[in-house]
Amino acid sequence: MLQFAQDFSALWKGHFSYYNINSVVKGNNKIYAAAENAVFTYDINTQDIEQITTVNGLSGDNISTIHYNNTYGLLLIGYENGLIEVVLDNDDNVLTVVDILDKVTIPASNKRINHFNVFENSVFIATDYGISVFDLERLEFGDTFFIGDQGSQIKVAQTTIFNNYIYAASRGSGIRRGALDNPNLIDFQNWEVITSGDFLGIEHSQIPCMPQQVTE
């Protein structure tokens, strides 16, 4: 479900905490930094600093991650409660996506948005229940993958694409992967466990994936 928010910045002033920065990304010749409940931007060319807050249409909930996509010119904001907001039109409009937030079959404690991974026209959303796919052209959800044993919900911290596979690093359930050309990734049996363990993230390069394993 999509909702647009109007910009009331000329009428209101916001008071937000810009401490505890949890995510920083670069795009649109800007640096975006996510704080607890708002985002601020630094324009690399003009050195101007601006805010994106509830005044501009954000929810004011606790932000868990952000991602900027240059191809589509939009900022994705993920929240701890499963809400997703898409900031577009040069940061002037906010599209609110409540599909995960309103999903009754997923416990509220499992809806946290952990990571956005854009591949072609889709973004793979790592969450505390698994992975959901969001179409950036249509601005709508596609499939959801519950990749735990027997199709259970597991906490996916991050995903990456490598050699035509999508790899998912999970908290306590190892690293799993599925083939991108498999049309039936919603079937948990089409995901294989690469290694066991507790992982914070996973990245790719020209060499095989190097996971960031929790050692504590």
Q: Are residues 15 and 111 both part of a single domain?
A: no
**Domain range enclosing 43:** 1-102
| Residue 4 pLDDT > 70 | no
The answer on 48 and 152 residing in a single domain is no
pTM of the model: 0.88
Give the CATH number, domain containing residue 117: 2.130.10.10
Q: Say how many C-beta atoms besides its own lie within 10 A of residue 197's C-beta.
A: 16
**Residues 109, 131 within the same domain:** yes
Angle at 203 between CA 161 and CA 72, to 5 degrees: 55
Q: Identify which of 111, 122, 126, 133 has the alpha carbon closest to the alpha carbon of residue 199.
A: 126
- 160-210 pLDDT, tens per residue? 999 999 999 999 999 999 999 999 999 999 999 998 999 998 876 633 544
